[in-house]
Amino acid sequence: MKLVVGLGNPGERYRATRHNVGFEVVDELARRHGLHDAADQAKSPAEAHVLRWRRADTGVLLAKPLTYMNLSGGAVQTLCHFFKIETPDLLIVCDDVNLPLGKLRLRATGSEGGHNGLRSIAEALGSIEYPRLRVGVGRGDARRDLADHVTAEFEPDERPGIVVAIARAADAVETWILDGLAKTMNSFNQEPRESF
């Protein structure tokens, strides 16, 4: 069993914001594979929306914590414990302001890099040894408060680029499920071909 957790903030206020790119990747995977009806919803022991993706090769859970970004760790820890997910079978998908818009970076481990959701997960799991897929959302104007930046929607000229990045990130998740971390890193940790 594998667990893919997209990070974000619940509620309409945050729906299309930079911080919710992880949610959008999970939504894209659910859309691609028709996981929207009640039969696909897994019983969730955590404050999270969970869908069960039934595959011939392995079971996959897609989750969106509903705890707000800064408290994501509790939901992730509970899901891992309940579904007996080992950290190599966990993939966290989140935004990253330190990456240019649209760039993907998949790593097996690493620091939180200032990301409060990743910090919460590391604290809850007691380790930074878990795979994470970061989706670049850009830093924007360095004079702007970072919290305001990540909870703001993309500019109109940025939206086409992030739509492509979300699709690529969903492709990366599918590759990770089928082929593992190393192959996915080799395929997706490159500059996207599209120019944003």
Per-residue tens of pLDDT for the chain, all 196 residues: 999 999 999 999 999 999 999 999 999 999 999 997 766 788 889 999 999 998 888 899 999 999 999 999 999 999 999 999 999 999 999 999 999 999 999 999 988 888 999 999 999 999 999 999 999 999 877 777 778 889 999 999 999 999 999 999 999 999 999 999 999 999 999 765 544 4
For residues 87 and 107, give the distance between their C-alpha atoms in angstroms, rounded to a whole number: 13
Question: Is 19 among the residues known to form the active site?
Answer: yes
Q: How far is CA 51 from CA 38, 64, 75, 110, 173, in A?
A: 9, 9, 14, 27, 15
pLDDT of 30? 96
**Which strand ranges, in their side-by-side order, compose the sheet holding 48-53?**
48-53, 60-65, 2-6, 90-96, 132-136, 104-107
Domain ranges of the chain: 2-188
Task: Tell the CATH superfamily of the 2-188 domain.
Answer: Peptidyl-tRNA hydrolase (3.40.50.1470)
For residues 100 and 103, give the distance between their C-alpha atoms in angstroms, rounded to a whole number: 6
Of 19, 49, 115, 149, the active-site residue reads 19
pLDDT of 193? 55
